[in-house]
Amino acid sequence: MNKKIVITGATGFIGSNIARRLIKEGNRVSIVSRSTERAKSVIPDAVEYIEWNYKTDPAGFVNGRDVVIHLMGENIMARRWTAKHKKEVINSRIESTRALVKGIENAEVKPELFVHSSAIGFYGNGFFEADENSKKGKGFLADVVSEWENEAAEVEKYGVRRVSVRLGIVLDKNEGALKKMILPFKFFIGGPLGSGKQWFPWVSIDDAAEIFRFVIEKEKIEGPVNAVAPEFIDMKRFAATLGRIMKRPSLFRVPEFALKMILGEAAEALVYGVKVIPARLVEHGYNFRYKNINEALINLL
C-alpha cells in the first residue's frame, strides 16, 4: 500500500499505533493535531505536521489525499458525565466531523475514503446480541455515536466511501481500561466490575490498529464495522483471566452502586455490556491476530 493519508487525533494511543503501522508500510502520512510539537515527538516519521483545532477550513489538507482518518474527539470516560463534559464530548466529535466533511466537499481532488473512529456504544446497554445491522440503542453514548456517524455519512454525497469503525474496549497495558484494571490486581484487590455477568466486547490494540489498515485495503467495506474480537466473554471471565495471568486472585467485585458513586451515569457503559459481533470483518475475511482473551493478555502483559 502506498497512499497519501491524513490522520487527525493521531497522538492518542490508538492513533499513534495506526500512524506508525501505516508509515512503516511506506504510506505518506500527514498528522493533524492541536499541537504539532507533541505530534512530532509521538510520531517522528510523518511527512507533514498540520495544526488544526476543527475551527478552520480543512480543505487545504484533505485536498489530494487518498484517505482521511479521523480520530479526534474528547475522551468520553475521562471524567464524570457532567453537562459540561457531555457537551465537550458531543461538540468535539460532531463539529470536527462536520468541518472535515465540509472540507472534503470544497476539495478540488477528493479522497477515496473517509474512515473515522466510532464506538460500540451505538448499541446502548443491555444483555443482548448486536451486529452492524442492529438498531441504535438508548442512552447518551448511543445518541452521541448515532449523531457522529450520521454526520460522517454526509461525505457519501460527494462520492467518498465512508467507514465508521465501532471500537470495542481496546486493550493496551499502557492506556485505557486495561491499565486501570491492572492496578488493583497488583495489590491483590482485583475483581470484576458490577455483576460480572455483562458482556465484555474487547479488541487488542494490535487488532484495533490493523482493522483501520484493513478497511483501507478492502474497497467493498463501507458503513459501520464492529472492531471487536470474535470471542464472547463476560466481565467475570475477563477478570479471572487477568488475575490468573498476573498470578493474583479475582475476588473483590466492585458493586454497581460503588461504580455509580465514582463515575455517575458513565458507570452504565461498564455494567451493562452488549454481546457485539464483528460480522462485517468476518464476512470480508479479516484474520484476527488475537482471537481469545488469554492470548491477548499474555502478549500485552
Q: Does domain 4-168+204-227 have CATH number 2.60.120.460?
A: no
pLDDT at position 266: 66
What are the extents of the domains in the chain? 4-168+204-227
Q: Which three cell numbers mark 75?
A: 475522551
Residue 17's nearest CA partner among 234, 205, 233 is 205
Listed as own residue / partner, the contacts of 261-264 with beta carbons closer than 8 Å and 24 or more positions apart are 263/77, 263/80, 263/81, 264/80, 264/81, 264/82
Contact between 211 and 225 under an 8 Å Cβ cutoff? The reply is: yes
Helix, strand, coil percentages, rounded to 5, for the chain: 45, 20, 35
Contact between 234 and 294 under an 8 Å Cβ cutoff? The reply is: no
- The pTM score is 0.94
Contact between 171 and 208 under an 8 Å Cβ cutoff? The reply is: no
Q: What is the dihedral of CA 114, 30, 64, 145, to 10 degrees?
A: 20
pLDDT in tens, 125-178: 888 999 999 999 999 899 999 999 999 999 999 999 999 999 999 999 988 889
CA distance linking residue 191 with residue 172, whole number of Å: 18
pLDDT in tens, the chain (301 residues): 799 999 999 998 899 999 999 999 999 999 999 899 999 999 999 999 999 988 888 989 999 999 999 998 887 766 777 888 788 888 889 999 999 999 999 999 999 999 999 999 999 988 899 999 999 999 989 999 999 999 999 999 999 999 999 999 999 998 888 988 898 999 999 999 999 999 999 999 999 999 999 999 999 999 999 999 999 999 999 999 999 999 999 999 988 877 776 667 667 777 778 999 999 999 999 999 999 999 999 999 9
